[in-house]
């Protein structure tokens, strides 16, 4: 028993160390200028699309693996759906993003359930105890709803179901279905950003960006889904 506990501690520390090394590497190799300079963004866009066009299949697989690893490293979803939509467009982008984040989230759920269940239970069980009865009534349907409730960071929403003992099958397909609407909108937004950069040699004004149909339509849909999520959360709290 003690040996198993020690192994869990060692693997847990190793996992956290990998996350810290990844963060250190990221901030050592990328600066704010890489993400804020329009000329650099435009140049990188052309390079990324050129790589995609050289071999779409390999590019898709690499992105899928990257999304899985990013999720396992406790990354949040926004960069994945923006980059996915930016590079692959809203249709293929959505497919890759949904499966990448779903597989990554499921692997993280299994990992967290085995190595960090006690810690997660201690940290979150009281705060989210009102979810327990909801999961018991219809685990699969409620998990789809759960995936659309706002206010919970993505990586926490991935590991939180360990305290409810959600079945892996329900977790996987509930995530796949539950995340798709939001991720499609996110991929559409990323695709819209790519189209705006393609059309403009110089950085467009904020007004030009926000009034572009490629941007304001996904944003409006995001707002509607967010409001719907808040209403669902209130209904859950009342019941």
Kindly state the average pLDDT of the residues 1-6. 56
Choose between 137 and 105: higher pLDDT: 105
| Spatial contact of 34 and 42, defined as CB atoms under 8 Å apart | no
pLDDT band at residue 139 under the 50/70/90 scheme: confident
For 38-94, the pLDDT digits (tens) are 455 666 777 778 888 888 899 999 999 999 999 988 887 788 888 898 889 889 999
pLDDT for res 107: 95
Mean pLDDT of the chain: 78
Residue range 96-129, pLDDT digits in tens? 999 999 999 999 999 888 888 888 888 877 777 7
pTM comes to: 0.77
Whether pLDDT at 238 is above 60:
no
Confidence of residue 20 (pLDDT cuts 50, 70, 90): low
* Most confident listed range (113-117, 176-180, 200-204): 176-180
CA atoms within 13 A on the CB side of 231: 6
Mean pLDDT of 174-192: 89
pLDDT at 210 over 90: no
- The pLDDT of residue 172: 96
């Amino acid at each position: 028993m003690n040996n198993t506990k020690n192994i869990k501690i060692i693997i847990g520390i190793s996992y956290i160390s990998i996350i810290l090394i990844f963060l250190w590497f990221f901030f050592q190799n990328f600066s704010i200028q890489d993400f804020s300079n329009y000329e650099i963004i435009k140049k990188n866009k052309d390079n990324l699309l050129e790589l995609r066009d050289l071999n779409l299949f390999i590019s898709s697989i690499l992105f899928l693996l990257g999304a899985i690893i990013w999720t396992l490293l406790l990354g949040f979803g926004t960069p994945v759906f923006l980059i996915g939509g930016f590079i692959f467009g809203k249709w293929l982008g959505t497919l890759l993003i949904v499966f990448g984040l779903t597989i990554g989230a499921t692997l993280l759920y299994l990992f967290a359930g085995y190595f960090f269940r006690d810690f997660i239970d201690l940290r979150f069980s009281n705060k989210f105890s009102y979810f327990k009865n909801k999961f018991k009534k219809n685990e699969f349907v409620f998990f789809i709803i759960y995936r659309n409730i706002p206010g919970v960071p993505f990586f926490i929403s991935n590991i939180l179901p360990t305290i409810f003992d959600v079945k892996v099958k329900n977790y996987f397909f509930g995530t796949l279905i539950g995340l798709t609407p939001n991720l499609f909108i996110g991929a559409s937004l990323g695709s819209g950003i790519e189209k705006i950069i393609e059309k403009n040699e110089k950085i467009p004004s904020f007004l030009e960006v926000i009034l572009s149909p490629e941007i304001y339509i996904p944003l409006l849909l995001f707002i509607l889904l967010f409001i719907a999520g808040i209403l669902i959360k209130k209904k859950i709290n009342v019941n």
